[in-house]
Structure 1
């Protein structure tokens, strides 16, 4: 299953980052890549750095297992987790691409605080404010169950931590400033990662 995990990882990176960036460039004339925000060592910077580390660990985990450097965790190396891994990874990959498509020309990697794009609240974003991140976590969990070793689990932890930092410390404060009441209304009725969880209550700030 580690070979399948590696193949799906490469396919995911190619589709979600490479092909999506190319498609965005053809539509808008620019890549949509904004990079890591914040000065080196800041919370925002760590969010971006951990995201890169998570992607590398997710790719490295099945390779290390395939060449025999790492052994799978026995309790997770059974049929039920493998099936769950395939389902989660497949759903996560499809969900990521669908959510990216929902963003249209507003799709970005990172945040430029001097830039204001349209607030997307339809498609996948009608169900959660961060459906791309939700799908990415599902994909990472699925791939970790297909190559269940310590590096894979570390990658999942890094990814979840990076996403929490990116959403709470970077994106939500930016959206509150750039979109104002429109975002507050949207956040009050739509969950952060799942439909009913993490909605912003009136009078409360993000975090």
Structure 2
């Protein structure tokens, strides 16, 4: 796969994710927040992720400014990256559908919030994070540049490790034993082997 095709595949995936996120953000706009646990470190790490996920890749795709940091990968890696991005998009979309009005981009519990354990959530507790991990891998394989190719993984890792524990604690505080039992049945971002085998 050529560099131009890799960049086009990335842009198509990027735009698809953006449309999904904007659509669902509009859906939950009128849903009231009952418990807001946003913190300054989380907000700063979210902004860092936006830099690595959106801004740097777009600079890299549309300008030659970061060309000095390009690297070469075999052509087949573009196809693997495209498949990874396609899977990320599907998981991302499915997670939004399954959550419905329970979805929030931040650490929030909405009024009438319910614990979703169906659809993709019957296998993993955090499918959106799984989608983001796949996106980061796809970005490395599609955008062959040490700065904007790796920027998403580098910026996402600290946010993930800060936020995952806060999010799970918020769910335990809200749903108690129900969520703790759910945690024993499901993997965090990868299904448990028992789920795959059985």
Q: Tell me the TM-score range normalised by the shorter chain.
A: 0.7 to 0.9
Q: Equivalent of 1:21, from 25, 43, 55?
A: 25
Q: Equivalent of 1:8, from 7, 10, 13?
A: 13
Look up the match of 1:106: 102
Equivalenced residues, count = 184
- Pairwise CA RMSD of aligned residues? 2.5
Counterpart contact for 1:58–1:144, Cα < 8 Å:
no
Displacement of 1:154 after TM fit? 2.4
1:29-67 deviation digits (Å, cap 9, x = unpaired): 3387x88712xxxxxx32332223222322222432442
Cα distance in 1 between the residues matched to 2:171 and 2:143: 37
Q: Equivalent of 2:63, from 48, 60, 67?
A: 67
TM-score, structure 2 length as denominator?
0.81
| Matched position secondary structure for 1:104 | helix
Cα distance in 2 between the residues matched to 1:93 and 1:167: 20
Q: In the alignment, is residue 37 of structure 1 matched against residue 34 of structure 2?
A: no
Q: In the alignment, is residue 56 of structure 1 matched against residue 51 of structure 2?
A: yes
1:146-174 deviation digits (Å, cap 9, x = unpaired): 11222231221211321221111x21111
Return 5+ residue gaps in structure 1 as ranges.
39-44, 198-207
- The higher-RCO structure (CA 8 Å, 6+ apart) is 2
Look up the match of 2:179: 183
Cα distance in 2 between the residues matched to 1:114 and 1:99: 17
Displacement of 1:121 after TM fit? 0.8
> Runs of at least 4 residues of structure 1 off by over 6 A?
none
Counterpart contact for 2:81–2:139, Cα < 8 Å:
yes
Look up the match of 2:164: 167
Look up the match of 2:3: none
Return 5+ residue gaps in structure 2 as ranges.
1-5, 194-198
Counterpart contact for 2:9–2:82, Cα < 8 Å:
no
